[in-house]
């Protein structure tokens, strides 16, 4: 087990890609905190981990809240005594509907602010919250989740400038944090998923949409949350101790950067 006895926090861990990270990390021996704004969903995900023999904790966390993120880190340390890994996965996109196809000059500014607060500011606040504990224990791993759409600017004529801008900002934060935190033995890296079918398996319309994205890939199939887990485990494990400030694109060979 590559993550045996490590303590990992996964924000937005109650569903979709975050839920896959929770499950995958637990199977590798990690004790996993499911941090999500939907506490009931977080508890349900945590219960499944326990049923499978893992150790976990569910914490309601609004990543755009300073108080919530600090409490997330504090409760994690109170329960598990340390924080080894943080996955900044929480984002506004699929589960919280945002405007798609709306030109940037027509976007609702309240929605713009909400997307930035969760997708961008959330990465800052969660990273700040865990930093003192990682520093005190001599190191840690921070994994930020961006999107391959940062490299493409969107998909076809479908635009969502606020989402893409925040994902570009996450790549920038990854590099800046890596520079600042390297002296504390804290690695900071980024994963950029492609279009991933993280919806309910019965959502046929969503599946068809994801199939369209597969046409431009080298590996011509739908991307699922489980396709991202191996890369996250690598970045969370000792195998990546000399890797920092990097962005790894996991999209089946669509974007090559």
pLDDT (tens digit, 9 = 90+) per residue, 29-78? 999 999 999 999 999 999 999 999 999 999 999 999 999 999 999 999 99
Does a structural domain hold residue 238? yes
pLDDT over threshold 70, residue 20: yes
Residue 257: predicted pLDDT? 80
Average pLDDT rounded to a whole number, residues 108-120:
94
pLDDT over threshold 90, residue 160: no
pLDDT over threshold 80, residue 162: yes
CB neighbour list of residue 172: distance below 8 Å, 6 or more residues apart: none
Average pLDDT rounded to a whole number, residues 231-254:
97
Does a structural domain hold residue 1? no
Total domain count for the chain? 1
| Domain span at 203 | 7-250
Global pTM value: 0.94
Does a structural domain hold residue 38? yes
Residue 7: predicted pLDDT? 98
Closest CA to 101 of 155, 150, 154, 159: 159
pLDDT tier for residue 99 given thresholds of 50, 70 and 90: low
Q: Which residues are catalytic?
A: 163
Cβ proximity of 14 and 41 under 8 Å: yes
> In the predicted model, what is the mean pLDDT of the chain?
92
Does a structural domain hold residue 256? no
* Cα(100)–Cα(154) distance, integer angstroms: 10
Specify the higher pLDDT residue, 159 or 250.
250
pLDDT over threshold 80, residue 135: yes
**% of the chain with per-residue pLDDT over 90:** 75
CATH number, domain containing residue 164: 3.40.50.720
Does a structural domain hold residue 132? yes
Q: What is the 3-state secondary structure (H, E, C) of the chain?
A: CCCCCCEEEEECCCCHHHHHHHHHHHHCCCEEEEEECCHHHHHHHHHHHHHCCCCEEEEECCCCCHHHHHHHHHHHHHHHCCCCEEEECCCCCCCCCCCCCCCHHHCCHHHHHHHHHHHHHHHHHHHHHHHHHHHHHCCEEEEEECCCHHHHCCECCECCHHHHHHHHHHHHHHHHHHHHHHHHCEEEEEEEECCECCCCCCCHHHHHHHHHHHCCCCCCCCECHHHHHHHHHHHHCHHHCCCCCCEEEECCCCCCC
Condensed to tens digits (0 to 9), the pLDDT of residues 204-220 reads 666 776 777 778 889 99
Cβ proximity of 196 and 226 under 8 Å: no
Does a structural domain hold residue 230? yes
Does a structural domain hold residue 257? no
Does a structural domain hold residue 255? no
């Amino acid at each position: 087990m590559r993550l045996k006895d490590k303590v990992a926090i996964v924000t937005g861990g109650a569903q979709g890609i975050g839920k896959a990270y929770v499950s995958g990390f637990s199977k590798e021996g990690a004790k996993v905190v499911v941090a999500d704004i939907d506490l009931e969903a977080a508890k349900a995900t945590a219960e499944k981990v326990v049923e499978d023999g893992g150790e976990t904790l569910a914490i309601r966390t609004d990543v755009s809240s300073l108080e919530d993120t600090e409490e997330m880190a504090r409760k994690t340390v109170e329960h598990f005594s340390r924080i080894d890994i943080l996955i900044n996965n929480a984002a506004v996109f699929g589960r919280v509907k945002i405007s798609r196809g709306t030109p940037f000059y027509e976007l609702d500014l309240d929605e713009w602010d909400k997307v930035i607060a969760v997708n961008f500011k959330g990465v800052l606040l969660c990273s700040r919250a865990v930093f003192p504990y990682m520093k005190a224990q001599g190191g840690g791993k921070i994994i930020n989740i961006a999107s391959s759409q940062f490299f493409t600017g969107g998909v076809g004529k479908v635009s969502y400038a606020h989402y893409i801008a925040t994902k570009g900002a996450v790549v920038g934060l990854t590099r800046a944090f890596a520079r600042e935190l390297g002296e504390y033995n804290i690695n900071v890296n980024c994963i950029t998923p492609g279009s991933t079918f993280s919806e309910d398996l019965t959502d046929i319309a969503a599946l068809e949409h994801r199939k369209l994205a597969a046409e431009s890939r080298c590996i011509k199939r739908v991307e699922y949350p489980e396709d991202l887990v191996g890369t996250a485990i690598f970045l969370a494990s000792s195998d990546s101790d000399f890797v920092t400030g990097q962005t790894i694109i996991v999209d089946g060979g669509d974007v090559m950067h």
